[in-house]
Amino acid sequence: MSKLAIGSIFGGICCLGLSVAPFPFQHWAIARQIGGIGAIGCFTFGYFESEKIKSKQQAFESWQFQDQQKQKKLDEAIEPILADELMQKQQIRAKYSVADSEEEMKGYFNILQVERYGEDWLRAQLQPDSPSPLADILPEPETELETQEKIETLAAKKAKLLKLIREHEGGWIGQLMKKPVLIYGDQGSGKSYFAEFLALCRHYLRGHEIVSIADPHFHQNKDECWKQLVKLKVPGFGAHHDYAAVNSQIVSMFDRFSKRTLKDAPITSIFDEVTRYGQEEATQESSSKLGSKLSSDPRKAKESPILIAHAKTLAALGGGEGFADAIQGNFVRIKLNSDSEQEPLWRGTISGIKDADGEPIENQKVSIKADWIRSSWIYDLFNQPLDLIAEIALIETQKLPDLVIEPIVDLVIESDVDKLDRILNQPIGDDYWLSEMSPELLDRAIEMRNTQRQQVSESLTSISEVAIIDTIQSKDSHDFDTQRLIAEKFPEKTEKALFDSIYEYSATCRNASKIIKSALKCSHSKKGSPRSYKEVGKPVFIYLIRKYGEASLIAKFADYLDKG
């Protein structure tokens, strides 16, 4: 309390006493009046002083209250976040716990597998495949499933096309995949269409890159006979009779002949209207070399050009007798026919291919009537949805004979692994185990097995030693001592009654010392006394718990019992 407040009260009371003092009024009027005024002053001062202190205290408490409210709101806001975090921690803990258990189970299972198969056999099974040198360079595939599906699809498509080619008229189309091809014939005989078909066959079956189409009528043909190649983004040159552009492609081809080797990827180039090259100024010079170059260079440059010309142009290409001989050996020549309406007959002759004995075949009659010898058919085949391919795959699968797997009955005596499998009611195949196994895991399993064996042998040794030293007789004598101790120190109670008392306390208390103090009335302060904690309480407690306690109770005080 404030000194000023106390002083004012005291002063005020004194002044009041003076103002009402039982003195004759006539003689003490001034003293009484002064006393009254003094009392008024003291009490006024005291009143305002106490009000001031009260206001200060109120302000302080108000600040404290607001602070508490803020803290409370903050706690309320944080509480759900903390709860969430706690939940997450619990989940993570549970996850790790499950992972640990799995790991442990796997370890034990591995040990059993090692026992079953032997270390050497397992190591032989787990030889790692040599890693591909391209593995680090090549990008990761999109997904394993997608890639596999694509491979299967492409293989099925190729198989289908190859089958058709092989079965068509002795498989002559199959002989057009590498050699330079000259397709010639009347106007409207379908030369360009067949050239496109051939280029697509090479592209999809042999992986040829189609580098260019040199055609002075490209502007007219790009939506007709070159339609599918244009879809594959093959560049066209020479549109609107631009022979200079055509010439550039001839020169490029010559350039490739001088640079490329047999190790390069195969390519196909197409030259249309070759008949005109010798007559046009822009291509006159290069066309004069065209025949000789094409008869000698394409093979070593891994290039397979397709030339398209009109009838009777062989002389125009070579310009000489020597070339005519050369072209006969190195070119496959296909002559296609048309009717008088300049419509294709889809028939013709082929020269330059060879029979089974390597003898050249001349003027073999061929037809390209079949529906599948069309560029659009090939393009659609290799770019169609997966359903159609699945059908093909299904047909192929149906041809396979059904496999009947006979169950193998094992009459061997049940091993530890089989027992474990049976107990878990979830048999685990060896293949699964091998796929899960790794050399590191195997090493660890072997190490664990060795450690366990060592531990077992050690424990057996220690047990035998202990058995010699600590006999059953000594244990009985120890129990007898404790029984005598109980009879001496707790004559009024039975063992069972003492245990019940301990059991009652143990329901609410986990501390053995407190239970001994409360239930058995033994304390440290009573050292040397009849109920000493160390000499009486502790051994009696241990004896009673071990004798009468259930497993859960013994587990509860396991640490204390072990220390005792």
Partner 1 sequence: MFLPVEKKKPQPIEVKQSDSPIIGRWQNIGNWQFRSLCFAIGTTAANFARPNPQYFWLYVVGIAIGSLSLMLVPPSDLKYQGLWRTAGAALLMGALVTWWDLLMMLQWWHFAGFGVGAVFTLFAIGSGGNRR
- What are the beta bridge partners of residue 338? 344
The nearest distance, CB 74 to partner 1, in angstroms, is: 15
Q: Between the CA of residue 562 and those of 407, 472, 505, 559, what are the distances in Å? A: 55, 19, 20, 5
Alpha-carbon span 205 to 176, nearest angstrom: 12
Q: Closest distance between partner 1 and the C-beta of residue 519, in Å? A: 43
Nearer to partner 1, 72 or 563 (CB): 72
Q: How far is the CB of 17 from partner 1 (least distance, A)?
A: 10
Identity of the residue, 1 or 507, whose beta carbon is nearer to partner 1 in the bound complex: 1
Answer yes or no: are the C-beta atoms of 351 and 333 closer than 8 Å: yes
Closer residue to partner 1 (CB): 46 or 344 = 46
Nearer to partner 1 by C-beta: 5 or 324? 5
Minimum CB distance to partner 1 smaller for 13 or for 105: 13
The CB-of-20 to partner 1 minimum distance in angstroms stands at 5
Q: Output the CA–CA distances (angstroms, integers) from residue 435 to 125, 285, 359, 430, in the order listed.
A: 10, 67, 55, 8
In whole angstroms, give the CA distance from residue 515 to residue 177.
Answer: 98
Q: Which amino acid is it at 142?
A: E
Q: Nearest distance from residue 3's CB to partner 1, in Å? A: 13
Rounded least distance, CB 8 to partner 1, Å: 7
Strands in 236-237's sheet, in edge-to-edge order, are 236-237, 209-214, 267-271, 306-310, 181-185, 332-338, 344-351, 364-367
Q: Which amino acid is at 72?
A: K
State which residue, 11 or 539, has the beta carbon closest to partner 1.
11
**The residue type at 561:** L
Query: Shortest gap between Cβ of 33 and partner 1 (angstroms)?
Result: 5
Q: Which residues bind partner 1 (CB under 8 A)?
A: 1, 5, 8-9, 12-13, 15-16, 19-20, 22, 25, 29, 32-33, 36-37, 39-40, 43-44, 46-47, 50-51, 53-54, 57-58, 61-62, 65, 69
Q: Given the DSSP bridges, would you call strands 209-214 and 236-237 parallel, antiparallel or unpaired?
A: parallel
Q: Which two tokens stand for residue 332?
A: 């496959």
Torsion, CA 15, CA 20, CA 23, CA 24, rounded to 10: 120
Q: Give the count of beta carbons closer than 10 Å to the beta carbon of residue 442.
A: 18
Minimum separation from the CB atom of position 51 to partner 1 (A): 5
Q: Is 336 in contact with 185 (CB distance < 8 Å)?
A: yes
**What 3-state class would DSSP assign to 522?**
coil
Extract the tokens encoding 394. 């299904």
Least Å distance between CB 56 and partner 1?
A: 9
Residues in the chain, total: 564
Question: Which CB atom, from 39 or from 515, has the smaller least distance to partner 1?
Answer: 39
3-class SS at 164? helix
Q: State which residue, 53 or 390, has the beta carbon closest to partner 1.
A: 53
Is the CB of 73 or the CB of 93 nearer to partner 1? 73
